[in-house]
Structure 1
Amino acid sequence: METSTMTVETKPKCEIIDYKGRKIVFTDISGARPEDAIPAFERTTVLVPTLGEKGALSLVDAKDARFNTDLISKIKEVVKKNNPYVKATAVCGLSSLTSLMVNSIITFTGRKMKLFDTIEEGKEWLIGQ
């Protein structure tokens, strides 16, 4: 008997969400391959400036995302470009290894950024900034 498997493809995305009356730029790369995550980070350079200088709160869900040197380079580039507009960034769902990579990005860019286990924890921290 033949069985078929249905694959649900995760599409990385970047959008502005509302959380308790605050606008947050939400970049969802959960489960993404590096080449699929890059366009989502590029989109932040369009959305983030619309919230004004130091007006953007940024949330990244990176649970089960895969990283490579191209993606890390793109993230560093985008973080630097968006720095004048971002007040704070919460990154959620990282493994120990990817946490080390993100900590190097924090050091490299000087961004106010904090790591969280869950999206809810990240949102709560962001609205307190």
Structure 2
Amino acid sequence: MNVKDACFTREYGKEIFVLNFNYRSIDEALPLIDECARQVRLREEGSVLTLTIIEQGKFDTALVDKLKGLTKGNAPYVRKAAVVGVTGVFKIVMTAVSIFSRREFKVFDTKEEAIRYLLQE
């Protein structure tokens, strides 16, 4: 796991947690999800801005279940969530995760658009 694929970063003076899905095997995604849960749940409830970037990767039922658990468990801590790179099968996965966790994810075409949304008060 690359540390930069699951970490807080600063954009225009505000912290955003970035989760970058850029992996070749599902086994590479699991530590990213665990690290996201660990870091986000250390923060104050209702304070975290999250940006998920989907570059490449595969999904199976176990990974989708893990994502559902992540989003549901992170829900109290997340103020706003944005997603970039959702196409094809990823749309189906994100829809399922959103419905299960009862969370809304705003989908954007570019990272810049997503960051602008997250920084709006």
TM-score by length of 2: 0.89
- The alpha-carbon distance between structure 1 residues 33 and 121, as it changes in their structure 2 partners (threshold 3 A), is farther
Distance 2:109 2:25 in 1: 20
2:107 is the counterpart of 1:80 = no
Cα distance, 1:82 vs structure 2: 0.8
Mapped partners of 1:121, 1:34: distance in 2: 28
Compare CA radii of gyration and give the structure with the larger one. Answer: 1
Higher strand share: 2
- Contact kept in structure 2, 1:31 and 1:62, CA below 8 Å: no
Aligned residues: 120
Q: Distance in 2 between matches of 1:32 and 1:127?
A: 31
Equivalent pair of 1:64/1:94 in contact (CA under 8 Å): no
Unpaired runs of at least 5, structure 2: none
1:46 counterpart SS class: helix
Q: Is the 8 A contact 2:6 2:17 kept in 1?
A: yes
Structure 2 residue matching 1:76: 3-state secondary structure:
helix
2:7 equivalent among 15, 38, 43:
15
Q: Which runs of 5+ in 1 are unaligned?
A: 1-9
* CA displacement at 1:33 relative to structure 2: 2.4
Percent identity (aligned): 25
Tell me whether 1:38 sits opposite 2:52 in the alignment.
no
> In structure 2, what is the Cα distance between the partners aligned to 1:72 and 1:57?
21
Hey, what's the Cα distance between the residues in 2 that align with 1:118 and 1:51?
A: 26
Task: Tell me, yes or no, if structure 1 residue 98 matches structure 2 residue 90.
Answer: yes
Shift of 1:65: 2.1
**Residues 50 and 64 from structure 1, CA distance in 2 versus in 1: closer, same or farther, beyond 3 angstroms?**
same
1:54-88 CA-partner distances (Å, limit 9, x unpaired): 10011111122221112111110111111110111
Shift of 1:26: 0.5
